[in-house]
Amino acid sequence: MKPISLRKKLTLTFLMIALLSLAFVGLFANVSFGKQFEDYALSRLNQTIDKTVNQVTDLYVRDGEKWDIASLDETGMAMLIDGIILRVTDQSGLVVWDAQVHNNGMCIRILENMAQNMESYQANFQGGYEEQSFPAVVNGKEVGIITVGYYGPYYFNEADLQFLSSLNRILLIAGAVSLGACVLLGAYLARRLSKPITDVIAATGRIAEGNYSDRLTHAENTAELVALSHSVNSLAASLESQESLRKRLTADVAHELRTPLTTLQSTVEAMLDGVWAADEPHLASCREEILRLNKLVDELSTLSRYESESLRLDTVVFDLQELCAQTVHNFEVAARQKGVSLTCSWEAAVVSADRDKIGQIIINLLHNALKFTPAGGSITLETRCEADRAIFRIRDTGCGIAPEHLPFIFERFYRADPSRTRETGGSGIGLAIALAIAKAHGGEIRVSSNVGKGSEFVLSLPIKQ
């Protein structure tokens, strides 16, 4: 089954909501207004009956104590046109005037017309001929009986039916206009809501094809859509950065391997060609390059092991202060020979961690600080507790790290010096290993630096309670 687009689903949803709303409003309006109009017709009928009784009573001639037949005839015919069938009897029960006797055919036609009108208003309307009798009282004396016949329980005349028909037409026109407006508005809103999503689908498709440079730009004010666009942009930026780092990693690995291999190849070829003798100095040079390759492989293996989810930690409880003091003691001779001063500020910070691996972090950080701090500079180390974290901080007065390099210094093989000379450091894996160890312990390493002023690295670990 072919899936339906979000735009069509939203449009159909708006249309269904509009139809249900209009149907509910129309039904409520018809039922409510119909009930009120029926009450109005019944009230009007009662008022007509009361008026008829009073009007006919006034036709009794008080002086002659008799009914005015001519006036009854005129009044009765006028009332018959309005649907009132009049019959008047005197006090002895003798019929004085009867509309059905006077013009029975007209009475039947009027009742049939009323029945047809009510059938057109409501199918199977339960109605028929009804009568009400009232005493005719003149000067406190009952002079006869006035019987009023009509189509009941109520009836609508032509004007009433025309009004109801006009009202229904107005409701239908208003409903059609409202429905059309809802469809147009629903289609517009569906497009506004679905377009950013289709743009995201297209963008993710381009990302899957390896095009990471495109970015979504929307002026939408819908929080979820804005967050979705930002997430896709962040994903593209992250993948673009990872792709750049991957390419750089490939080039860096090739460079790190090419140097010792080229040296080995040149030395071996020179010895094979007889240019150099296969003596101890040349063989020692080959051995040095082989050791350099082995060290690189060992570092890569170590980094892979530390980044693995199955890394095994030999956790013990120890004081970070003691470990740092012991490590600094091992670097004192090297620092003195280079002319760099070491300043320490220790506070107890007990942690539960792998002592050897945490020690390797401290060694890497201290080794880098000493390497990039010139003679006459200083390195400051401290341990302390902050809330629920144990902190190891190391600051140096070395050359510093440029801002554009800071986000990448923990990437493997990354070095700020593009020449990658031996004088500027090793393979560029030490900081990557340090960060992997810290993350394995639930910790982190932060760095801040100013070019020409030095750098600061901060190791943060959970405290053992």
Q: How confident is the model at residue 327 (pLDDT cuts 50, 70, 90)?
A: very high
Give the per-residue pLDDT at 218: 65
The number of angstroms, rounded, from the C-alpha of 398 to the middle of its chain's C-alpha atoms is 49
The number of angstroms, rounded, from the C-alpha of 203 to the middle of its chain's C-alpha atoms is 19
The neighbouring-strand residues paired with 393 are: 382, 458
Q: Contact, 23 vs 175, CB < 8 A?
A: no
Asked whether the predicted pLDDT for residue 3 surpasses 60, the reply is yes
Quote the CA–CA distance of 261 and 286 in Å, as a whole number. 9
Quote the CA–CA distance of 246 and 300 in Å, as a whole number. 15
Q: What is the mean pLDDT of residues 4-10?
A: 73
Quote the CA–CA distance of 33 and 387 in Å, as a whole number. 72
Asked whether the predicted pLDDT for residue 85 surpasses 60, the reply is yes
User: If DSSP states are collapsed to H, E and C, what string results for 135-164?
Assistant: EEEECCEEEEEEEEEEEECCCCCHHHHHHH
Q: What is the mean pLDDT of residues 271-278?
A: 81
Which residues neighbour 114 within 8 Å (Cβ) at sequence distance 6 or greater?
A: 83, 127, 151, 155
Give the per-residue pLDDT at 427: 58
Quote the CA–CA distance of 357 and 437 in Å, as a whole number. 7
The structure tokens listed for 55 are: 């009007």
Which residues neighbour 156 within 8 Å (Cβ) at sequence distance 6 or greater?
A: 41, 117, 118, 121, 164
Question: 402: left (phi > 0), else alpha (psi -120 to 50), else beta?
Answer: beta
Give the per-residue pLDDT at 134: 92
- Judged on CB neighbours under 10 Å (0-12, 13-18, 19+), 199 is middle
Query: What is the maximum alpha-carbon separation in the chain?
Result: 166
Most confident of 29-43, 301-315, 317-331: 317-331
Q: What are the respective helix, strand and coil percentages of the chain, to the nearest 5? A: 60, 20, 25
Q: What is the mean pLDDT of residues 123-152?
A: 86
Q: What is the mean pLDDT of residues 406-412?
A: 81
The neighbouring-strand residues paired with 152 are: 128
Quote the CA–CA distance of 195 and 189 in Å, as a whole number. 10
Nearest to 360 by CA among 445, 258, 453, 275: 445
Q: What is the mean pLDDT of residues 364-377?
A: 92
Q: How confident is the model at residue 326 (pLDDT cuts 50, 70, 90)?
A: very high
Sequence length of the chain is 465
User: pLDDT of 175-232, one tens digit each?
Assistant: 788 878 877 887 887 777 777 778 888 888 888 887 877 777 765 667 777 788 888 8
Give the per-residue pLDDT at 459: 95
Quote the CA–CA distance of 150 and 129 in Å, as a whole number. 6
Domains of the chain, with CATH numbers?
A: 6-173 (3.30.450), 312-462 (3.30.565.10)
66-67-71-74 Cα dihedral, nearest 10 degrees = -160
> Residue 249: how many CA atoms within 13 Å on its side-chain side?
14
User: Three-state SS for 7?
Assistant: helix
User: Three-state SS for 222?
Assistant: coil
Q: What is the mean pLDDT of residues 436-455?
A: 91
Give the per-residue pLDDT at 318: 93
Q: Contact, 90 vs 61, CB < 8 A?
A: no
Q: Contact, 413 vs 425, CB < 8 A?
A: no
Q: What is the mean pLDDT of residues 408-431?
A: 64
Q: Contact, 200 vs 227, CB < 8 A?
A: no
What percentage of the chain has pLDDT greater than the value 70?
89
Q: How confident is the model at residue 252 (pLDDT cuts 50, 70, 90)?
A: low
Give the per-residue pLDDT at 443: 92
The structure tokens listed for 152 are: 């009941």
Asked whether the predicted pLDDT for residue 103 surpasses 60, the reply is yes
Q: How confident is the model at residue 422 (pLDDT cuts 50, 70, 90)?
A: very low
From residue 165, how far is each of 121, 169, 194 by CA, in Å?
9, 6, 42
Asked whether the predicted pLDDT for residue 64 surpasses 60, the reply is no
Q: What is the mean pLDDT of residues 422-435?
A: 68
Q: List the single range of 43-47, 70-74, 247-251, 438-442 with lowest mean pLDDT.
A: 247-251
Residue 440 identity: A
Q: What is the mean pLDDT of residues 314-337?
A: 92
What letter would DSSP give residue 303? H
Higher pLDDT, 38 or 33: 38
